[in-house]
Amino acid sequence: MKFVSYWHDTAPAFATAVQGPVEGNYDVAVVGAGFTGLAAARQLAMAGAKVVVLEAERVGFGASGRNGGHLNNGLAHSYLGAKAELGKERAIALYHALDDSIDTIEALIAQEGIDCNFRRSGKLKLASKPKHLEAITRNFEALHAECDPDTALLSADDLKSEVGSPFFGAMLSKKSAMMHMGRYVVGLAEAATRHGAAIFERTPVTEHKEINGVHTLQTPRGTVTARNVIMATGAYTPNNFNWFRRRIIAVGSFLIATRPLTDSEVQMVMPGNRTCVNTMNIGNYWRLAPDNRLIFGGRARFSATSDQRSDEKSGAILRESMERIFPQLKGIDIDYCWGGLVDMTADRYPRAGFHDGLWYAMGYSGHGAQLSTHLGMIIADAILGRADRNPMRDYPWPAVPGHFGKPWFLPLVGQYYKMLDRFQ
Please give the Cα distance from 369 to 70 (Å, whole number): 7
* Tens digit of each residue's pLDDT (9 = 90 or more) over 168-205: 999 999 999 999 999 999 999 999 999 999 999 999 99
Residue ranges in 68-207 assigned as alpha helix (H):
79-86, 88-112, 130-146, 181-194
Which of 99-113, 267-281, 404-418 is predicted with the least confidence, judged by mean pLDDT? Answer: 404-418
Asked if residues 85 and 232 have their Cβ atoms less than 8 Å apart, the reply is: no
**Contact in structure between 255 and 284 (CB atoms under 8 Å):** no
**Euclidean distance between CA atoms 43 and 38, whole angstroms:** 9
Question: 106 Cβ partners below 8 Å, 6+ apart?
Answer: 118, 120, 177
pLDDT in tens, 309-318: 777 888 999 9
CA 274 distance to own-chain centroid:
18
Matching CATH number, 6-411, of 3.40.109.10, 3.10.310.10, 3.40.50.300, 3.50.50.60: 3.50.50.60
Question: Which ranges of 113-169 does DSSP label H, i.e. alpha helix?
Answer: 130-146
Q: Which of 392, 387, 6, 29 is nearest to 233 (CA)?
A: 29
pLDDT value of residue 366: 87
Closest by CA position to 33, among listed 68, 57, 13, 15: 57
Closest CA to 64 of 305, 335, 364: 364
| Residue 53 and residue 33 in contact, taking contact as beta carbons nearer than 8 Å | yes
Phi, psi of 86, rounded to the nearest 5 degrees:
-95, -20
Judge whether 322 and 296 are in contact, CB under 8 Å: yes
Please state whether 405 falls in left (phi above 0), alpha (psi between -120 and 50) or beta: left
CA distances to 24, 149, 193, 261, 316 from 336, rounded to whole Å, are 41, 37, 31, 14, 12
Give the per-residue pLDDT at 416. 42
Tell me the pLDDT tens digit for each residue of 46-64.
Answer: 999 999 999 999 999 999 9
Helices (H) and strands (E) in the chain, counts: 11, 19
Is the separation of the CB atoms in 360 and 353 below 8 Å?
A: yes
pLDDT, tens digit, 9 for 90 and up, residues 2-24: 999 999 999 999 999 999 999 99
Structural domain boundaries in the chain = 6-411
Strands, sheet with 123-126, edge to edge from the N-terminal-most edge strand = 151-154, 170-173, 123-126, 275-278, 284-288, 294-298, 249-258, 334-344
Region for 234 from its dihedrals, namely left if φ exceeds 0, alpha if ψ lies in -120 to 50, beta otherwise: left
Instruction: Determine the residue type at 43.
Output: Q
In this predicted model, what pLDDT tens digit does every residue of 79-136 receive, in sequence order? 999 999 999 999 999 999 999 999 999 999 999 999 999 999 999 999 999 999 999 9
For the entire predicted model, the pTM comes to: 0.94
